[in-house]
Amino acid sequence: MPVFDSTRISYVKTAELILGSDVSYLTDNPDMVPQFVNALFQSLEISLKGFGTSSGLVSEDEMRNRRLVGNGHDIEKIGDLLKEKLGDISNRRLVAVLLDGIESDVSVIIEKMIFGRDFKPTRKSYYKRKLVYHAELESGEIQIVNGLRPWLEAVKAVAENVDNAIAVVNRWRASGTDLPFEEWHIRENSFMYR
C-alpha cells in the first residue's frame, strides 16, 4: 500500500517543521504543541497499520473493527492486536521488530508511546481526537516522551523502518520453523529483550 509509505513520512515531516531547529517555535506558540503531538501519533498509527496489513498479519477489515481497535486511532489496541497476531509477544518484542536493524535507544520512547501506563492520558487524547480539537483538551492530557527532538526521531525511525519490520515477519514465515515468533526473533538477533 504505497499510500501508507508517503503518509506516515508526511506526518513526521509535519512534526519536523513544527519543531524546527530548536523548541523555540513551540515555546513561543504553545497552541501548536497538540498539533506536534498529533502528527507524531498519526505517523505511528499509520506505521503500525501499514506494518500489520502489508505483512499480512492483519486484514484491513480487522484494522477497521471497532471491537479490535476501537475507533481506529487507539494505538494501544492496534499494538495489542499486532502482538496477538505474532503469538502474544511482549511489548518490547513488538517494538524490537518495528525498529529491527536500528541501533539506538529509541525503543524506550516507542514502547512508552504505545503501551506506557504513564502516557495513557496522551494516547487517550489522541484516540478521542482531542489533540485535533484543542478546546476539548484539559490540563494533564498531554505528556512529552523523553524530550521533543528524541521523541520525533523515535517516531521517524519507526516510519522509515516499516519495510524492515515487514521483512522480519516474512523471514520468520519463510524459515519453515515451528518456533513461535518471539523465540525465533530472539535466536535470529544477538540482542535480547525480556
Q: What is the pLDDT of residue 134?
A: 64
Q: What is the pLDDT of residue 2?
A: 47
pLDDT averaged per 10 residues, the chain (length 194): 70 92 86 92 95 94 87 91 94 94 86 94 89 74 85 95 93 85 78 41
Q: What is the domain partition of the chain in residue ranges?
A: 2-188
How far is CA 133 from each of CA 42, 97, 123, 143, rounded to the nearest angstrom? Answer: 15, 33, 15, 17
Q: What is the pLDDT of residue 64?
A: 87
Closest CA to 9 of 36, 37, 44: 44
Q: What angle do CA 67, 68, 72 make, to 5 degrees?
A: 95
Q: What is the pLDDT of residue 192?
A: 40
